[in-house]
Homo-oligomer: A and B are copies of this chain.
Amino acid sequence: MTVTLADVAARAQVSPATVSRVLNGNYPVAASTRERVLRAVDELDYVLNGPASALAAATSDLVGILVDDIADPFFGVMAGAIQSEIGGPGGRAGGERLAVVCNTGGSPDRELTYLTLLQRQRAAAVVLTGGAVEDAAHQAAVAQKLRRLADAGTRVVLCGRPPAEDTPSVALTFDNRGGARELTQHLIGLGHRRLGYIAGPEERTTTRQRLEGHRAALATAGIAQDPGLVVHGRYDRRSGHEATLELLRRDPSLTAVVAANDSVALGACAALRQSGLRIPEDVSVAGFDDLPFSIDAVPSLTTVRLPLAEAGARAGRIATGREEPPPGAIAMVRGELMVRGSSAVPRG
């Protein structure tokens, strides 16, 4: 039925071992022999049997990328960068890696399931993106899985996620706290004193870190923390819309809304406008991430730029062993404050 390595060997008049060597390019093979083999491969339209080769070699060329929400550009941009860095130079039968993204939908169970599936496939590497769920039991379960994965030779890279304790993984973590702090400082510097904050889902590292940064800035400026000015929601536009209406209900006098991310900020803008408020004249708005759409929103969004694509690319290279891990296996990726049209001095 399907053509095997032995078929290629027969056609090229060599032994199966030689064909294997040519395909993997790990052993010296005479140029003429190699050519004959490659010709046979083409003529027979031969495709290596991945499972068989993974079984024999005890390692596969599959790389898994776990994301929370595939429909969110935050993850899309990172995943795309990781994948393009991993998918080899494109060539013939041997060599390529299969970089593959798995959508957990933010569910801890699915995260664990995917990790098991990847472990089952003897994945060459696994990249976990985005914040982690802050549940002790779940974190322990993930840490254990990652340890097993690492033991089996799978490279583990964290991209945009805080380092997991006791896990032999490389972590590229985002400075959410510092970025958020700087952002709120900017608004305070403009003169804002009543700032609403729309946080992400509770129990997530990203949510907590950004909120901490925000609060630190308020504290430093001596501004009292009003718990009523913090609303939790999801990381999407609709959530930002709803949360903003809620914030306005609680305090119609607020002059700025800081959102957990850019999507949320866009929802906030829509809600403010529908409430008859102008941006930034009446209310300033700020986001986080600096996703592609943020710069040409109307008005363009003040936010913190996270180098998602760069971090993803680096994670991809580390995952494939083409770049040395940072010292201590941890690197802090900093954000950059982008001041744009959506923030200004408060009214009155």
Contact surface of A with B, Cβ cutoff 8 Å:
2, 45, 47-55, 60, 62, 64, 69-73, 76-77, 79-80, 83-84, 87, 90, 93, 96, 98-103, 105, 109-110, 113-114, 116-122, 148, 151-152, 236-238, 241, 263, 266-267, 269-270, 273-274, 292-293, 296-298
The distance from the CB of A249 to the nearest CB of chain B, in whole angstroms, is 18
Q: Which residues of B contact A80 (CB under 8 A)?
A: 69-71, 103, 105
Bound complex: CA A109 to CA B52 (Å): 25
A228 CB → nearest B CB, Å: 24
Contact of A110 among B55, B62, B87 (CB under 8 A): B87
Question: Which residue from B51, B73, B87, B103 sits with its C-beta under 8 Å from A71?
Answer: B73
- How many copies the complex holds: the figure is 2
Give complex CA distance A241, B64 in Å. 35
Chain A binding surface, main DSSP class: helix
A118: chain B residues at CB < 8 Å are 98
Nearest CB of chain B from residue A297's CB, rounded to whole Å: 7
- Provide 30 A-B residue pairs closer than 8 Å at the C-beta atoms, listed in order of the A residue: A45-B148, A47-B119, A49-B120, A49-B122, A50-B54, A50-B117, A50-B120, A50-B121, A50-B122, A51-B54, A51-B121, A69-B76, A69-B80, A70-B70, A70-B79, A70-B83, A70-B101, A71-B73, A71-B292, A83-B102, A98-B117, A98-B120, A101-B101, A101-B103, A236-B292, A237-B296, A241-B296, A266-B293, A267-B296, A270-B297
